[in-house]
Structure 1
Amino acid sequence: MADTDTSGTLDEALERVHGTGPEFEGWLTNHAPMTVEALVRHGQARLVHRWLDAYRHRTEELPGTNTRIDAGNWRELLGDPGHLGDWIAYFTREVAERPWRDVLAEWWPRLLPGITGGSTHPVIRTGHAVRTLLADGDSAPRTAELGHALGYWAARHQPLAAPTTLAGAAGPEEALAAVPAVPDPHGGIRARFAQLPATAGWPAAASALRRPEGPEEARGTLTALVEAAVARYPHHAQGGPVMLVHAATAPNAVLRTLPALPRELWAPSLAAAWEASAAVTAAYAPARPAEAVPAGRATLDEAFEQAALHGDAHAIKLADTALDTGGPAALAAVARACELIEPAG
């Protein structure tokens, strides 16, 4: 559990963030809640308010409400970003009135099919929120953050037109290596995802990962998937240094959430995490892998500090996930992100 001062810094930061919406300029993601959680988690709390001050110009006000979501209308409003403020209000009420684990367990299987919506940011934000609640305990700002994250996910819920399955014999490293690139490497992530049904080799690759035999194997495979995505990043990041971060951070968000979920949801969680990682990998695969990549800092703490001082939200979040995996590949991934992603400010 974080010490009182650190927890206080995070709560203060989340209270600042909750006056803003999860998006700006129409659909770009507000990375502040995820970034400040990672900074606090890894000993960089001193940078949090300075980082928020520098990021403030990107944020917009929290969207207003116009419809009360309830048991009778949620299905028709799921995936409607026009009700973003309504969804956030709904989940903010839910986590205030009910145990947050109960809300999460009820809604997790409903939201998983839309894991790639919002460029996978909603599930990533959810993973950061759950990690804080599990590690540091409840507080009003922390439970509210889970409400904001789930509301964002519900509003941006969007299943892939070409979903994946777990029906092969491959492990994560082999399965990711077999993912084909979309034919037209231009446009945003939604335009690239739309190409998946017609991408040669996608159906076979999308079903290549081995189905787990039980919850523990699902967790082990998910751990290996995160490790494989981090290890791939230094050699493939040139295809999209910002967006390919999500091939690792999205499945890691799912992995962080598993301890708060019933075990019967672990295998479906792996399946969704695989879909997110495989789809992002296909969308931003480079023409060829890089042979020479930076070695990275000597320790993981030094690597995270490098990312924190670099200041970009994606570099910080990749470093946060890399610290979970460890090893030379993690150090190289952080160094590569700091090399290719434009520093903040």
Structure 2
Amino acid sequence: METSGTTHTGGHLEEALERVHASGPEREGWLSNHAPMVVEALAAHGQAGSVHRWLDLYRDRLEDFPARTAPVTDANWPSALGDPRRITDWTDHFSRTLAERPWKDVLAEWWPRLLPGLYGGATHTVIRVGHAVRAVAAEENAPRVTELAHALGYWAARHQPVTGLVALPGAVSASAALDAVPAIGPGHLGFRNRLDAVRGLPVWADQVTDPDTAKERLIELVRAATHRYATHGHGEPTMLVHAATAPNAVLRALDSLPRDQWIPSLHAAWTASAAVTAMYAPTEAFAYIPSARMAPEEVVERALAHGDEHVIKLTDTALDVGDEQALAAALRSIELSEPLA
């Protein structure tokens, strides 16, 4: 799998993040603010000079932070976990903590606390953290560390565990395991209602005991989920993006985490990807073949011209995977999604 880094952005990413940090992580009650994730993705793939123009198109979707309630502290944080009314309190907490301690130490402490609740905000919480980690790992500076604080605060406030799932027969490969995921079918409108309707998921990679193998399986999962979008993305073009981008966010964080956290990270990433697949998978696959082959740079330019936030983020993940099938998935998302107006 190819990797990319958010470096040499000429200050464009930092300026864009500072613009974004004046706004909260949500709008209209619970819809996620995608701006910080998109500008990081664009900067990671040579489009840093375009981030302000994209932000200008997106700015009407930005809202202020909610009012503060009470400080989150080392003593009271468990009672504040998963309380979306505390988004600003949590952001303050991580801003203070990251000003006092190395960011990798903070991430290592909080990752196992937050990992069981990565379904919050329709998995955008962990996705935002994955983008933030990639940025700060590439270059540590104030706007990037601030973005990590905002991302962790959003995850803590929207922390949403999933429990009680029945283990179903699985498969050896990630691709076959995703094919074995039972779809919940129509109805259950809204992510939270559909997530509640997921009762069982296939077992996959549950016997992994070695951190390096866990990383290999996670790479395999991201590749399989990305490839699958090309043939199944029509089931729900926006939401099925997260079957690939959520596990890729976990993968991006892995090298910044202690190795003993890699195996539980794999298991959480599988459950998230499989749950999204169960919620939105279509009954029939579509044999998608792009009309023409394109170089990665061309695909990025097409995604940027389209402008949709999920298209850009899936393209970002597709370029991490780096093969022809992944690029086809990115092109399929462009075809299926409404452009950013």
Q: Distance in 2 between matches of 1:48 and 1:29?
A: 18
- Partner of residue 193, structure 1: 195
User: What number of residue pairs does the alignment pair up?
Assistant: 337
Q: Distance in 1 between matches of 2:32 and 2:57?
A: 16
Instruction: Structure 2 unaligned segments of length 5 or more: list them.
Output: none
Q: Which runs of 4+ in 1 moved over 6 A?
A: 164-167
Deviations 1:3-62 (A, max 9, x none): 65x151111000000000000000000000000001111111221101111111011012
Q: CA deviation at 1:301?
A: 1.5
Distance 1:3 1:258, change over 3 A: closer
Contact 2:6–2:134, Cα closer than 8 Å, also in 1: no
Match for residue 35 of structure 2 among 22, 32, 37? 32
Deviations 1:72-130 (A, max 9, x none): 11111100101111011111111111100010000000000001111000100000000
SS in 1 for 2:237: coil
- Partner of residue 328, structure 2: 332
Q: How does 1:201-280 map to 2 (within 5 A)?
A: 202-203=200-201, 205=202, 207-280=203-276
Most deviating of 164-173 and 126-135? 164-173
Q: CA deviation at 1:226?
A: 0.1
Q: How does 1:100-119 map to 2 (within 5 A)?
A: 100-119=103-122
Contact 2:69–2:89, Cα closer than 8 Å, also in 1: yes
Q: How does 1:10-159 map to 2 (within 5 A)?
A: 10-135=13-138, 137-159=139-161
SS in 1 for 2:11: helix
Q: CA deviation at 1:208?
A: 3.5
Contact 1:238–1:286, Cα closer than 8 Å, also in 2: yes
Distance 1:3 1:73, change over 3 A: closer
Letter in 2 for 1:276: A
Q: Distance in 2 between matches of 1:134 and 1:229?
A: 25
Distance 1:166 1:181, change over 3 A: closer
Q: Percent identity?
A: 55
Most deviating of 280-289 and 63-72? 63-72
Contact 1:166–1:209, Cα closer than 8 Å, also in 2: no
Q: Distance in 2 between matches of 1:242 and 1:3?
A: 28
The yes-or-no answer on 1:176 pairing with 2:178 is yes
Q: Distance in 2 between matches of 1:232 and 1:170?
A: 16
The normalised TM-score by structure 1 is 0.94
Contact 1:168–1:211, Cα closer than 8 Å, also in 2: no
Most deviating of 184-193 and 150-159? 184-193
Q: CA deviation at 1:64?
A: 2.6
**CA RMSD in angstroms, aligned pairs only:** 1.7
SS in 1 for 2:329: helix
Contact 2:171–2:180, Cα closer than 8 Å, also in 1: no
- Partner of residue 301, structure 2: 305
- Partner of residue 11, structure 2: 8
Contact 1:14–1:33, Cα closer than 8 Å, also in 2: yes
Most deviating of 113-122 and 184-193? 184-193
Q: Distance in 2 between matches of 1:326 and 1:290?
A: 22
